[in-house]
Homo-oligomer: A and B are copies of this chain.
Amino acid sequence: MNCEEPIVAYLGPKSSWTSQAAEKCFPDVVEAVQSGKVDRGVIPFENSSNGTVITTLDTLSTSHLECSDLTIAGETTLKISHCLLVRSIEHGQITPPDSPAGAGTPADHTDQGSRSLDGSAFAELKRIKHVYSHPQALGQCREFLAANLPWAELHQTSSTAEAAIIASKDHTNSSAAVGSVLAARQIGLRVLLEGVQDVRENSTRFLVLKRDPADAPPWHSSRTHPEGEQRKLLVSFAIDQRAQGKLAHALSTFNKPSIQLTNIHSRPSRKSPFHYVYFVEIQWRAEKDGGQQLQDALRDLGKISQSRRCHGTWGPTLEW
């Protein structure tokens, strides 16, 4: 399997790239990797504007995966560009972009925004009375929408894919969705405008998951970690919350020169209400000792915590 092109499960078919959008899909990706149906799975982990994808943490911590040999093999960061999507000509009811759009139902408000748009796009904008998208995508395009579609009603959906489906079903042609080029292709919508997000730099880190049945722990020196290479590690743990100072104590185990805490989240343990599993993302360097400091930290954490799980360690190079 190592010599062949790996089979990769990813979120493309759902035609949605925002985090919560793929909520239903994540367990499927994880399950596909775990069962061996695919060699690698890709799930979103963190967006530069919206933060960590909580669903990914929850999926990684589901109980049936606790004994899993699933591990994070790497990460990759994608730039995200939002598009304004409308019903495509395949539906037979939208005027092609280069034709006059006068036959539509122009909105009453024509005096605001959109001066920079060309005539045909502007004419098409005029007929949009409803814009659908995930709240995060709507939020990322707030200024564009206020300037160019001030008359449109904004509707929140659970995902950009869901928004695209709703827009594709509006036979009055007065709906648009904010979503991806991929969503446009898969749902059969047309990209009216590209890059409509307010902040140009909008990116999402994706994690690559693989099965790793090897016994050696991820920080072990027998694994090839170039000395001094900055690596990341995701670990989760639960503690006895009634015991005084346990969390501070647990976190202090990472207070070492070669280790840097970056990202911390508390998630419900699902064992009792308001009891948590803590997720910690770490940056660390394999020194000459082969990661002894990390090994010590994880050993100490294991003593302090009720349960502890390493979700993997990965370097800057994607290890397919």
Contact = CB atoms under 8 A, between A and B. Distances in A.
Interface of A: 20, 23-24, 46-52, 54, 134-135, 155-159, 162, 201, 203, 205, 241, 244-245, 247-249, 251-252, 254-257, 259-268, 270, 273-274, 276, 278
A249 B245 contact: no
A254 B248 CA distance: 7
A11 to B, nearest CB: 15
Contacts of A261: 247-248, 251
Contacts of A203: 273
A78 to B, nearest CB: 13
B273 A48 contact: yes
B266 A266 contact: no
A274 B158 contact: no
Nearest to A154: B24
A255 B276 CA distance: 19
Contact of A255 (B135, B159, B245): B245
Given A245-B259, A251-B252, 15 more contacts: A23-B156, A46-B274, A48-B273, A51-B54, A134-B158, A155-B162, A157-B157, A157-B158, A201-B273, A205-B274, A241-B262, A247-B260, A249-B255, A252-B252, A265-B266
B24 A135 contact: yes
Nearest to A134: B158
Contacts of A48: 268, 273-274
A264 B264 contact: yes
A159 to B, nearest CB: 7
Contacts of A254: 248
Contact of A49 (B54, B257, B268): B268
Contacts of A255: 245, 248-249, 252
A155 to B, nearest CB: 7
Nearest to A267: B51
B257 A245 contact: yes
A187 to B, nearest CB: 15
